[in-house]
Amino acid sequence: MIPSDWLRTFSVFAEDANLSAAAKRLALSQPAVHAQLRRLSELLGVPLYHRVGRGLALTREGIEVAAFARDAEERSRELVARMRGEDVDRRIVLAAGAGALLHILAPGLRAFAKSYDGRLEFVTADAAAAVQATENGTAHVGVAALATVPGSLEGHQLAVVRQVLAMPAAHRLARRRRLDVGDLDGERLVVPPAGRPQRAALDAAFAGVGVQIGATATGWDVVMRLVELGVGLAVTNANVPVPRGLVTRPLDGLPEVRYFAFTRPRPRADVAKCVQALVRHAGA
């Protein structure tokens, strides 16, 4: 049996993997926090965190234990409330990008919210952050465009979206019904910042094509506005609304974008119902 205070301490520590911050939040001394974390690690027989540079980071096992600890804490609060006849403070935290929230999830969230009596909390996160938040238990549901869902999570495909080129209606390429990446030779593009998954895909697709970067930006609304201003053309998802004065054309040579909803294994019943609603109504 794992002492509940050890799990609580590790859950707080796992928020930012900082011993002094955890000690302050728990009103304990730093040695006391360290001792509880060490005993928990010894009980489980695995390292829960390690040093990275000048800081600390959770191990893969630590991420799993953090999620378990947060789930246990939530279930304990719900049990106490039910036994006391008090209202159960239910909540579902969903981590996703703003584009997914606006253009993929809206119908499912609308349907689920009609019958859910708890709170929905939203965390704006890119794909990597959504996966991390779901794995470590700070989010119950994650949604992201992924090639594959990590094996530590249960994934459900929501939508498959083709990529298109957005441009002013008067642009020379707007006269074409379909385009190939080679047709963009010499054009300026609005692209995501370096390090983002879509940027890596675009860099690979346009290798050897003479495109120029006109601007870097995140968020489809911002990207479309920059296209309106003439800063450059942009590769977007086909489900993104097109402002007046712009048009989109199918762009061959780029892979389709697959959106997934994912949870930790064996999610709570209300979390599972949320995912079911998202899958059922995706793209509606």
Average confidence (pLDDT) over 18-25: 91
The single-letter DSSP state of residue 184 is: G
Mean pLDDT of 77-84: 79
Q: Which of 143, 93, 98, 144 is nearest to 120 (CA)?
A: 93
pLDDT for 86 beyond 80: no
Please name which of 96, 107, 122, 92 lies closest in space to residue 219, comparing C-alpha atoms.
96
pLDDT of 87 > 80? The answer is no
Residue 225: its pLDDT value, please? 96
pLDDT in tens, 121-146: 999 998 999 999 999 999 999 999 99
pLDDT at 32: 92
- 129-134 long-range contacts, CB within 8 A, separation 24+: 129/95, 130/95, 130/96, 130/97, 131/262, 132/63, 133/93, 133/95, 134/95, 134/262, 134/263, 134/264
Q: What pLDDT digit, counting tens, does each position of 234-280 carry?
A: 999 998 999 999 999 999 988 899 999 999 999 999 999 999 999 99
**CB under 8 Å to 177, separation ≥6 — which residues?**
249, 250
Rounded to an integer, the average pLDDT of 3-20 is 89
Query: Percentage of residues in the chain with pLDDT exceeding 90?
Result: 67
For position 44, what pLDDT does the model report? 92
Can you give the residue ranges of every domain in the chain?
Answer: 4-83, 91-159+258-281, 163-255
CATH 3.40.50.720 fits 4-83, yes or no: no
163-255 CATH fold: D-Maltodextrin-Binding Protein; domain 2 (3.40.190)
Torsion angle in degrees (nearest 10) through CA of 21, 24, 30, 33: -90
Q: How confident is the model at residue 284 (pLDDT cuts 50, 70, 90)?
A: low
Task: Specify which residues 155 forms β-bridges with.
Answer: 262
Q: Determine the topology of domain 91-159+258-281 in CATH.
A: D-Maltodextrin-Binding Protein; domain 2 (3.40.190)
Distance (Å, whole) CA 242 – CA 168: 10
Take residue 62 and report the two structure tokens written for it.
């630590």
Q: What is the mean pLDDT of residues 156-162?
A: 94
Q: Note the pLDDT of residue 16.
A: 86
User: How far, rounded to the nearest angstrom, does the alpha carbon of residue 22 sit from its chain's CA centroid?
Assistant: 25
CATH topology agreement for domains 4-83 and 163-255: no
Q: What is the pLDDT of residue 283?
A: 60
What is the pLDDT of the chain when averaged over all its residues?
91
Smallest CA-to-CA distance from 179 within 231, 250, 125, 261 is with 250
Most confident stretch, 46-55, 91-100, 166-175: 166-175
Give the model's pLDDT for residue 159: 93
- State how far the Cα of 164 lies from the Cα of 239, in Å rounded to an integer: 9
Nearest to 164 by CA among 97, 74, 71, 256: 256
In 166-268, where does DSSP find H-type helix?
Answer: 197-205, 220-228
